[in-house]
Amino acid sequence: MTATAAARATAEALDAADPLASFRDRFVLPDPGLVYLDGNSLGRLPRSTAARLAAVVEQQWGDRLIRSWTEGWLDLPARVGDLIGTALLGAGPGQTVVSDSTTVNLYKLAAAALDARPGRRVVVTDRDNFPTDRYVLEGIVAARGLELRWIEADTVDGPQPADVAAVLDDDVALVSLSHVAYRSAAIADLPAITALAHDAGALVLWDLCHSGGSVPVDLDAGGADLAVGCTYKYLNGGPGAPAYLYVAHALQRELRSPIQGWWAQDDMFAMQRPFTPLPDARRFLTGTAPVLGLVAAEEGVRLLAEAGLDGLRAKSMALTAYAIELIDAWLVPFGFGLGSPRAAARRGSHVTVTHPGAAPLCDALVAAGVIPDFRPPDGIRLGLAALTTRFTDVHDGIAALRDLADSPAGGRRP
Ligand SMILES: *Cc1c(COP(=O)(O)O)cnc(C)c1O
C-alpha cells in the first residue's frame, strides 16, 4: 500500500469504529462527494425536519389554523428551550427559552444585567469576541454613557481567568464573553471567570454559539448567570432558526427585559392588565414565536439529544485531534500555522489553520468541493460537527488543502 492509500485507510478505519457514524444517515446528503467542514456555521438538514415542517404547515397551519396556538405552538419557546437546556447546556428546566436572534437576545440580557447593577459604569469584553457581540455592547454603552473595557487576550488561547481578573473592579457591571472562540475554538473557563466576576459584584453573559451542542457547558454547575446561543450551527436548526437564551433561576425575578412584549406577560390573553412579566425565563420572550423555525430547531436538537453530549464531545475531540495530526504532517511544512489550542480539553469542535494566502486557498478549496470558512485576516476554519463529519472528510479536506498548497500557485514549497 502507498503512503497515500495507508493514510486514507486509517481514516476509513476510524469511521468504521465511530459509534456515532450511523447518525450521518439521518441527514439529507444530496452530494456524496461534498466535504462539508462548515457545520459550525450552518448545520446540515436533518431528514426528519423536512417531514416535520411539511406536517406543521399542512396540518397545523393549513387545517387547525389558529387552534394550533393552544394545541402546542404557545409552548414551543419554553419546550424547545428546556430540551436545549437539559440535553446540551447543563441547565435545569425553566431557565432556557428560544426567541429572536442571538444578537437580540444578547442585547436584552446585557441591558437587563446593566439595569440590575445601577451605578456601575463598565462592561468588559475581549477584542476577539464575535463582531455582533462587540457591536451590541458598543451600542449599549454608547446609549447609556458607560465604558467598554477591552481584554486583549492571546488570539489562540482566548481570554484566561487572569486576563479577566486584571480588568475587574467594583465599577464593572457586566462581563460578556464567548464560551468557545469563533476563530480559534479556545474554551473559556466558565466557572472560574464567573466566580471572579461574582467576587467583584458583576454579572456574566456567555455567548454559546460555538459551544452549544459540541462541548459541555454545565451552566448550572458553573454558577452561570446569563447565556445566549444560536440553533442553526451545531444544533442543525436551519437558516435563521431562532436563538436561545438562559437566565439562571436565582436572577429571574430581579431581571427585566428592555423589550416588554406580550409574550413575556403573565396571562398574556388577559390583555387589559399592566405589564407583569412571567416569573421565569419566559419573561425575556418578546412577540409571536417563529413556529416554523422553532420546530426545525427542535428536530435538530432531538438528534443531538439522542446521540448524547458525552458521545458528541468524545467524537469531536477525536476529529479535531486527527485534524491537528494531519495539519502538523501535511500543512505545517507548507508554511501553515495552527490557530487553535493543541490541548483537546482546551478547544471546541473546530480547528483553524493560518496561512498568508488563506483567502485564495479557501476559494480554491470550495472550487474543489471542500467547504471551510475563511476567517480574516489569515484563518481557514475547519468545522467538525460530530453527527455529520467523518474522519474521511477530515482526511480528504486537509489532503485537498495540502495539494493546493503544493501547486505552483499555492503556498511555500517545503
Ligand atoms: C454565529 C454567532 C452569532 C450570530 O448571531 P446572530 O444574531 O444569529 O446573527 C453570534 N455570536 C457568536 C459567537 C456566533 O458565533
HEC string of the chain equals CCHHHHHHHHHHHHHHCCCCHHHHHHECCCCCCCEECECCCCCCCEHHHHHHHHHHHHHHHHHHCCHHHHCCHHHHHHHHHHHHHHHHHCCCCCCEEECCCHHHHHHHHHHHHHHCCCCCCEEEEECCCCHHHHHHHHHHHHHHCCEEEEECCECCCECCHHHHHHHCCCCEEEEEEECECCCCCEECCHHHHHHHHHHCCCEEEEECCCCCCCCCCCCCCCCCCEEEECCCCCCCCCCCCCCEEEECHHHHCCCCCCCCCHHHECCHHHCCCCCCECCCHHHHCCCCCCHHHHHHHHHHHHHHHHHCHHHHHHHHHHHHHHHHHHHHHHHHHHCCEECCCCCHHHECCEEEEECCCHHHHHHHHHHCCEECEEECCCEEEEECCCCCCCHHHHHHHHHHHHHHHCCCCCCCCC
Q: What percent of the chain has a predicted confidence (pLDDT) above 70?
A: 98
pLDDT tens, 363-386? 999 999 999 999 999 999 999 999
Q: Which of 325, 318, 315 is nearest to 399 (CA)?
A: 325
Q: Is this structure's pTM higher than 0.85? A: yes
Average pLDDT over residues 101-113: 98
pLDDT of 407 reads 84
Q: Which conformational region is residue 125 in: left (phi greater than 0), alpha (psi within -120 to 50 degrees), or beta?
A: beta
pLDDT of 409 reads 61
pLDDT of 267 reads 87
SS3 (DSSP) at 94: coil
Instruction: Name which residue sits closest to atom 1 of ligand 1, judged by CA.
Output: 209
Average pLDDT over residues 103-108: 98
Q: What percent of the chain has a predicted confidence (pLDDT) above 90?
A: 95
Q: State yes or no: is 108 an active-site residue.
A: no
pLDDT of 270 reads 84
The catalytically annotated residue of 107, 182, 232, 284 is 232
Q: Among 42, 102, 180, 236, which residue has the most ligand 1 atoms within 8 Å of its CB, making it the best to mutate?
A: 102
pLDDT of 193 reads 98
Distance 369 CA to ligand 1 centre (A): 26
pLDDT greater than 50 at residue 241: yes
Distance (Å, rounded) from C-alpha 149 to C-alpha 342?
29
pLDDT greater than 60 at residue 413: no
Q: State yes or no: is 163 an active-site residue.
A: no
The catalytically annotated residue of 233, 283, 302, 313 is 233
Q: State yes or no: is 232 an active-site residue.
A: yes
Q: Which is the closest atom of ligand 1 to the Cα of 133?
A: 11
Distance 371 CA to ligand 1 centre (A): 19
pLDDT tens, 39-76? 889 999 999 999 999 999 999 999 999 999 999 999 99
Q: Tell me the average pLDDT of the chain.
A: 96
Distance (Å, rounded) from C-alpha 386 to C-alpha 105?
27
pLDDT greater than 50 at residue 268: yes
pLDDT tens, 144-194? 999 999 999 999 999 999 999 999 999 999 999 999 999 999 999 999 999
Distance (Å, rounded) from C-alpha 350 to C-alpha 398?
13
What are the grid coordinates assigned to 263, written together?
Answer: 409574550
Distance 178 CA to ligand 1 centre (A): 10
Average pLDDT over residues 113-119: 97
pLDDT of 192 reads 98
Average pLDDT over residues 241-249: 98
Q: Which is the closest atom of ligand 1 to the Cα of 182?
A: 15
The band of 412, judged by pLDDT with boundaries at 50, 70 and 90, is: very low
pLDDT tens, 214-223? 999 999 999 9
pLDDT of 414 reads 42
Question: pLDDT higher for 112 or 40?
Answer: 112
From the CB of residue 232, how many other CB atoms can be counted at a distance below 10 Å? 23
Q: State yes or no: is 322 an active-site residue.
A: no
pLDDT of 408 reads 65
